């Protein structure tokens, strides 16, 4: 019996199709970064409270800082990378446990009128809810060493 020549190719084709699906998912909409509905680990006094929003639930810390937006995150990969690296640089300069610096950094970008790379070169107020969600995702990723 003669070996079937397409068998190795069909395995490779399945692998390529799977890889294409993953790459497509990573390049759509949110830059491959999803927003988790689980709050980032923080001190006991920093548990977010819930407030209703037309586009999703917003988690606000007792200090009044938006720490979670339950909406699909929307940014380009370049914006995400710049936001993550800007946050990491800020956290490195502050020192200490990056997980404890998430809320202070978010407070700074939310109250700062100056645009910067952490907010896609816009101010927090100029960002859409989906972009704000992406900033929060990038900040949390920086705290977890994800950039």
Residue 118 in any domain: the answer is yes
Q: What is the pLDDT of residue 55?
A: 53
The answer to whether residue 28 sits within a structural domain is: no
Instruction: Please check whether residue 130 lies inside any domain of the structure.
Output: yes
93 assigned to some structural domain: yes
Does the predicted TM-score (pTM) go above 0.75? Answer: no
The whole-number pLDDT of residue 112 equals: 82
Tally of residues, the chain: 147
How many Cβ atoms are within 10 Å of 22's Cβ, its own excluded?
Answer: 10
Whole-angstrom distance, CA of residue 12 vs CA of residue 34: 29
The answer to the question of residue 63 being in a domain is yes
Segment 34-38 long-range contacts (CB within 8 Å, at least 24 positions apart): 34/72, 34/73, 34/137, 35/68, 35/69, 35/70, 35/71, 35/72, 35/73, 35/133, 35/134, 35/136, 35/137, 36/137, 36/140, 37/68, 37/70
Residue 70, pLDDT score? 95
Instruction: Output the six-digit token pair for 30.
Output: 């949110």
Q: Which residues in the chain land under pLDDT 70?
A: 1-56
Burial class (CB in 10 A: 0-12, 13-18, 19+), 140: buried
Q: Does the residue 10 lie in any domain?
A: no
User: Is position 45 within any domain?
Assistant: yes
Q: What is the pLDDT of residue 20?
A: 33
Structural domain boundaries, residue 67: 34-143
Percent of the chain with pLDDT over 70: 62
| Domain annotation covers residue 105 | yes
Work out how many domains the chain is built from and give that number.
Answer: 1
Rounded to 5°, the CA angle 53-54-57 comes to 40
Q: Residues 6 or more apart from 87 whose CB is under 8 A from it?
A: 105, 118, 138, 139, 142, 143, 147
């Amino acid at each position: 019996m003669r070996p079937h020549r397409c068998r190795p190719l069909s395995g490779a084709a399945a692998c390529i199709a799977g890889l294409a699906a993953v790459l497509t998912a990573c390049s759509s909409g949110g830059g491959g970064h999803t927003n988790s509905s689980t709050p980032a680990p923080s001190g006991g006094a920093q548990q977010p409270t819930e407030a209703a929003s037309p586009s999703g639930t917003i988690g606000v810390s007792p200090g009044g800082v938006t720490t979670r937006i339950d909406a699909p995150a929307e940014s380009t990969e370049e914006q995400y990378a710049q936001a993550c690296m800007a946050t990491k640089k800020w956290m490195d300069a502050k020192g200490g446990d990056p997980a404890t610096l998430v809320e202070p950094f978010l407070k700074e970008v939310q109250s700062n009128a100056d645009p910067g790379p952490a907010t896609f070169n816009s101010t927090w107020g100029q960002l859409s809810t989906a972009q704000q969600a992406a900033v929060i995702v990038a900040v949390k990723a920086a705290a977890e060493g994800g950039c």
